[in-house]
């Protein structure tokens, strides 16, 4: 019996797929080579932009023929996109040949659902909204070579006005420090991993919800104190929570890679405020200055959104000038994509696609050009 997983979206989703693989292998499935020769296929979806969702619909739709030819094929759609009740329903109605549609919070129970489908050939649309405890029990089937992803927290409390993540991943929930340290100890002891990448939507607010609280800086120091020859990196950092203490730890700890992904999103203060990012251009540049002073040669990267509602040409040029000023090693630039249920989706002054397209191209061209200059 073979399984095949198709993953969309961020590293956290990739890591979730490693857990799904763990569940399936526990049930006796083995990893298949292609999506055609498989007994179960799982789509682990992303909802961050409309394009990501369109790709999922296309991929799932294409399975209709395969299901017709093989009635026993089990099709699962899970992840951020189907955590939204409306999308989950639409998925079930439009693609009735899909067997299981679940959200992000139901993954630990996937094994039970599959067993049920196999026993009764029953299709399931499940409750999507219960947020459970962080699941510590199931094994991961790790797929990224010498690097091991380690989740340190789930969810996000920031509610940036454009972003769907808090709605589909729930509130911030940190793992106990001891569990994280034990997981890393075991990974290093296995001799298979040379790099640990800590994952969270906003790793700098790690531990604020624990009692007693544990800071991200302390977690980093405690990880570095573990025996073994390995490096540590992490993503993603939110500028509002990146403390001097964390910058110092990165500077002083040999095991930590000198690399920070610090999404700015915009270089204009009015837009940053509308985005609910809780920092200004000046505060952001201050942090960058500190990083450059304390960690020479630190690689710095960022994400930007262009064409946020009401963004003027002048405000977009502020983003261009920020990119010029910081001299990033590389950037990701996205055209703003309205997400249903978010605050920005309802704002007046939505920007035309052609304008967004033009801005994203100019921003990417600038960033490429600056990278060439450096070399
Ligand atoms: N937690 C991370 C990012 C998660 S999403 C952080 O706060 O930085 C990854 C990137 O997708 C974001 O940094 C943002 O640039 C982009 N993004 C999020 N929502 C978007 C939307 N509605 N339209 C376009 N880009 C978006
Ligand atoms: Fe989305 Fe903002 Fe949370 Fe990042 S910090 S996941 S952009 S709400
Ligand atoms: Fe996408 Fe969910 Fe990650 S929306 S970017 S897969 S948290």
> What is the tens place of the pLDDT at every residue in 189-206?
999 999 999 999 999 999
Condensed to tens digits (0 to 9), the pLDDT of residues 28-77 reads 999 999 988 999 999 999 999 999 899 999 999 999 999 999 989 999 99
Q: Whose CA is nearest to atom 18 of ligand 1?
A: 163
Q: Whose CA is nearest to atom 11 of ligand 1?
A: 48
- Report yes or no on whether pTM surpasses 0.85: yes
Candidates 3.30.750.210, 3.40.50.300, 3.90.105.10, 2.60.40.10; CATH matching 144-257? 3.30.750.210
Smallest Cα–Cα separation from 225: which of 204, 256, 201? 256
The mean pLDDT of 278-290, rounded to a whole number, is 97
Q: Where are the domains of the chain?
A: 2-125, 144-257, 258-375
Residue 160 alpha carbon to ligand 2 centre in Å: 6
Residue 60 alpha carbon to ligand 2 centre in Å: 27
pLDDT of residue 128: 67
From the CA of 56, the nearest ligand is: 3
**Do the domains 258-375 and 2-125 match in fold?**
no
Q: Kindly report whether the peptide bond that precedes residue 260 is cis, defined as omega within 30 degrees of 0.
A: no
pLDDT of residue 276: 98
Cβ(260) – ligand 3 distance below 6 Å: no
Cβ(160) – ligand 2 distance below 6 Å: yes
Q: How many CB atoms lie within 10 A of CB 61?
A: 12
The CATH fold of domain 258-375? Transcription Regulator spoIIAA (3.30.750)
The CATH architecture to which 2-125 belongs is 3-Layer(aba) Sandwich (3.40)
Give the side-chain half-sphere CA count within 13 A for 171.
Answer: 7
Smallest Cα–Cα separation from 205: which of 197, 214, 195? 214
Condensed to tens digits (0 to 9), the pLDDT of residues 298-357 reads 999 999 999 999 999 999 999 999 999 999 999 999 999 999 999 999 999 999 999 999
pLDDT of residue 119: 86
Tell me which of 5, 165, 167, 263 to substitute to probe ligand 3's pocket, judged by most ligand atoms within 8 Å of the beta carbon: 165
Q: Mention every residue, 6+ apart, whose C-beta is less than 8 A from residue 375.
A: none
Q: Whose CA is nearest to atom 7 of ligand 3?
A: 165
Residue 44 alpha carbon to ligand 2 centre in Å: 20
Taking the C-alpha atoms of residue 55 and residue 240, their distance in angstroms, rounded to an integer, is 33
Which atom belonging to ligand 3 lies closest to the Cα atom of 104?
2
Cβ(181) – ligand 3 distance below 6 Å: no
């Amino acid at each position: 019996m073979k399984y095949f997983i198709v993953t969309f979206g961020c590293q956290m989703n990739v890591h979730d797929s490693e857990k799904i693989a763990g569940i399936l292998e526990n049930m006796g499935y083995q990893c298949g080579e292609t999506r055609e020769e498989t007994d179960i296929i799982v789509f682990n979806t992303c909802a961050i932009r409309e394009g990501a969702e369109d790709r999922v619909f296309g991929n799932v739709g294409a399975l209709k023929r395969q299901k017709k030819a093989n009635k026993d094929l089990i099709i699962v759609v899970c992840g951020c996109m189907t955590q939204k009740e409306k999308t989950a329903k639409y998925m079930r109605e439009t693609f009735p040949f899909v067997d299981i549609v679940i959200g992000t919070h139901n993954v630990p129970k996937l094994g039970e659902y599959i067993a049920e489908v196999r026993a009764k050939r029953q299709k399931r649309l499940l409750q999507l909204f219960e947020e459970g405890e962080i699941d510590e029990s199931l094994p991961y089937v790790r797929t990224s070579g010498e690097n091991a992803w380690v989740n340190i927290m789930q969810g996000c409390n920031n509610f940036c006005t454009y972003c769907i993540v808090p709605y589909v991943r729930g509130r911030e929930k940190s793992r106990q420090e001891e569990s994280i340290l034990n997981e890393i100890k075991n990974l290093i002891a296995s001799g298979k991993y040379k790099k640990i990448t800590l994952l969270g939507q906003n790793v700098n607010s790690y531990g604020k919800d624990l009692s007693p609280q544990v800071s991200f800086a302390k977690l980093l120091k405690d990880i570095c104190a573990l025996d073994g020859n390995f490096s540590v990196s992490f993503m993603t950092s939110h500028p509002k929570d990146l403390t001097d203490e964390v910058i110092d730890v990165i500077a002083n700890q040999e095991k930590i890679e000198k690399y920070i992904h610090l999404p700015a999103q915009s270089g204009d203060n009015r837009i940053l405020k509308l985005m609910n990012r809780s920092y200004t251009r000046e505060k952001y540049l201050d942090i960058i200055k500190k990083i450059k002073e304390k960690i020479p040669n630190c690689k710095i990267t960022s994400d930007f959104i262009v064409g946020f509602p009401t963004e003027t040409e002048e405000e977009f040029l502020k983003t261009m000038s920020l990119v010029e000023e910081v001299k990033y090693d590389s950037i990701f630039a996205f055209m703003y994509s309205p997400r249903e249920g978010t605050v920005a989706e309802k704002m007046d002054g939505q920007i035309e696609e052609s304008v967004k397209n033009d801005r994203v191209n100019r921003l990417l061209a600038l960033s490429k050009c600056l990278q060439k200059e450096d070399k």
